Amino acid sequence: MTISIGELQKNIAILKTLQEPLEVIDKRTKKIVAIIYPTHQESITQRFKNRKSDIVIEDLESAIEKAQYENLKDEYDLSH
């Protein structure tokens, strides 16, 4: 959804019922000056805590080791 700065100022209550991101544009320059995302009752940290993680710690450690190896391989031009 897109709205101009003036329209938003006239009807700020739009923000209370926002269900999707809102692009705020400057009518003169036709540029986006802000994107407003809807908030939810549940905080971001609470949602993260409530979500089950698909990543197992061992998988994460393995991915870090692989990334470090790839970085060193590129840095020192190791090709084996």
- 25: containing domain: 2-75
Q: How many domains does the chain fold into? A: 1
- Cα–Cα distance between 4 and 24 in angstroms, integer? 5
Q: What is the pTM of this model?
A: 0.45
In a domain? residue 18: yes
In a domain? residue 80: no
Residue 23's closest CA among 14, 31, 34?
34
pLDDT at 80 over 80: no
- pLDDT given at position 68: 81
Q: What is the pLDDT of residues 32-50, one digit of tens each?
A: 999 888 876 555 555 555 5
Residue 14's closest CA among 30, 38, 32, 41?
38
Mean pLDDT of 47-66: 65
In a domain? residue 27: yes
